[in-house]
Amino acid sequence: MILPYKTIKDKALEWSIGKQCSEIKELGEWKEYEIFKIKKGKNKGQFEENPKFNKWLKHRFENNWKYVRSLMLKYESKIDQIKFLELELEKLKLEERVNEQ
């Protein structure tokens, strides 16, 4: 099987999609989407207490929701790695200053 060739533009687009989904998830506005309104019972018309982002993705992107979710998770993973490495760098710089004194 030949793997598809991805150009820099393709990777940039994937990164952008992952970033946008992550930002949408962070803002939380998706929780007020119509699909989370309760349709029956005493709480009819109210929003679900614990809506799932995957449900919103499924509704919004239909057949491609798993792909979009994977891009978002990939983006969030890389951002977490960057934050971790920045903290490690700060620790090393602090340790270096202490050793110089």
Decide if 63 is inside a domain: yes
Decide if 1 is inside a domain: no
Decide if 15 is inside a domain: yes
Q: Residue 89's pLDDT is what?
A: 95
When divided into structural domains, the chain yields a total of: 1
Q: Residue 1's pLDDT is what?
A: 58
Q: Residue 23's pLDDT is what?
A: 93
Decide if 39 is inside a domain: yes
Closest by CA position to 36, among listed 53, 16, 19, 21: 53
Decide if 2 is inside a domain: no
Q: Residue 10's pLDDT is what?
A: 87
Show the tokens assigned to 82. 């960057």
This prediction has a pTM of: 0.73
Decide if 49 is inside a domain: yes
Decide if 3 is inside a domain: no
Domain containing 52 equals: 8-100
3-state DSSP call for residue 37?
strand
Decide if 67 is inside a domain: yes
pLDDT tens digits in sequence order for the chain, 101 residues long: 565 667 888 888 899 999 999 999 998 888 887 777 777 777 777 777 778 888 888 888 889 999 999 999 999 999 999 999 999 999 999 998 888 87
The dihedral through the CA atoms of 55, 60, 62, 67 has a sign that is: negative
